[in-house]
Amino acid sequence: MATECVRSAMKMEIDKLENRGDADNGIQEFKDAAADFMRRQFGVKLDPATEINHCIGSKPALAMLPAAFINPGDITLMTVPGYPVAGTHTKYYGGQVFNMPLYEENGFLPDLDAVPRDVCKKAKLMVINYPNSPTGALADEAFYKKVIDFAKTNNVVVVQDATHILLTYGRKPLSFLQVDGAVDVGVEVHSLSKGFDMIGWRIGFVAGHERIVRAFADIKDNSDSGQFIAIQKAAIVALADTSIPVAIRAKYERRLQKLVAALRELGFKTEIPGGSYFLYVPSPKGVAGGTTFETAEDASQFLIRERSICTVPWDEAGPYLRFSVTYQAPNETDEDELMDALRSRLADDKFI
């Protein structure tokens, strides 16, 4: 559940007459709060009037942005594995998706030098996502600089999906917009779903290049009528409270440590990721003396059908299983019991 102060704000705001009615492209107070958050958290200065627009969560923002840039034959550069929404919408507009694989040996960063020249010519959009879902990898400044150079050379608009940004471990979260030149080539999409426990509330924002934000706002204005103002006002309370993401990050990091410890004991090769609440683990090839797995899909089916353990399989860039620590457990004892259940369900399997 969202933090108590956010829920209390919502309870008050829902009763106020002035919060009725369509919000269209959002209330100025929310844009101001988002600008304050970007300045406080990342040192990024944005004009709240022109460089920020709210969205009803990051998913619809990723769905709408291709409308501004994609004509038939244009290409969107996406990563696999990845969050596919912008690619799906690219295809609705007659565009194509070029998949850039994320390999462990490259730190799960796409190899921009491997994008063929004819693809670069037709590319209009590049969608990246760090901290990455599902690999949990982080991008560093050097990678973002490469992205900016690539975008300038090839006239490509960059969309960096920062949905998991506040779930960064071991170092300070890095915004794409902190890097020199980023605001010239793109936008970053933020969400309150993960870092503020506001999943289901549907609130986020698009920030960065003024004309890209304006293009997005124009499409959004013709697609939805804005998030309920009471929710925007509750989100303002969340954005102003620096303690909320700190507590949420600590919870997920602790849970990831417990999961890593349990999986290592069971023979999996894994370590704490740079970010997100996912753990992306090389998929086993089989169980000694038992089933063989051709794909991560096979392994995932074995785990759910035979052992009642839920994972998401990814086979696009090598076989991997994605575990998640988004389970419901009110306290650490329950978390430990869940990890013990994982250990005991897999105790008799020697994974290859």
Minimum distance between the CB of residue 201 and ligand PLP, rounded to whole angstroms? 9
Nearer to ligand PLP among residue 83 and residue 176 (C-beta)? 83
Closer to ligand PLP by CB, 173 or 204: give it.
204
Q: How many CB atoms lie within 10 A of CB 288?
A: 10
Q: How far is the CB of 162 from ligand PLP (least distance, A)?
A: 9
Pick 162 or 303: Cβ nearer ligand PLP: 162
Residue closer to ligand PLP by CB (options 156, 167) is: 167
Name the burial class of residue 302, with classes exposed (0-12), middle (13-18) and buried (19+) by CB atoms within 10 angstroms of its CB.
buried
Per the DSSP assignment, residues forming a β-bridge with 159 are 127, 187
Question: Do 2 and 238 meet the contact criterion of CB atoms below 8 Å apart?
Answer: yes
User: Which parts of the chain fold into alpha helices (H)?
Assistant: 4-13, 28-42, 58-69, 85-92, 117-122, 141-154, 182-185, 210-221, 229-240, 243-265, 296-307, 332-345
**25 phi-psi bin (left φ>0, alpha ψ -120 to 50, beta other):** alpha
Task: Please say which residue, 92 or 350, places its beta carbon nearer to ligand PLP.
Answer: 92
Residue 292 CB, shortest distance to ligand PLP, in Å, is 31
How long a stretch of residues is the chain?
Answer: 352
Q: How far apart are CA 190 and CA 164, in angstroms?
A: 8
Closer residue to ligand PLP in complex, CB, 194/209: 194
End-to-end CA distance of the chain: 39
Closest to ligand PLP by CB, 133 or 175: 133
Who contacts 107 (Cβ-Cβ below 8 Å, separation ≥6)? Answer: 137
Q: Which residues bind ligand PLP (CB under 6 A)?
A: 57-59, 83, 129, 133, 161, 163, 191, 193, 199, 204
Residue found under tokens 């295809």: 91
- Return the DSSP state at 75: E
What is d(CA 95, CA 92) in angstroms, rounded to the nearest whole number?
Answer: 7
Min CB(180)–ligand PLP separation in Å: 25
Q: Output the smallest distance, CB 204 to ligand PLP, in A.
A: 5
Using alpha carbons, select from 117, 65, 66 the residue that is nearest to residue 95: 66
Please say which residue, 195 or 284, places its beta carbon nearer to ligand PLP. Answer: 195
Contact 270, 263 (CB under 8 A): yes
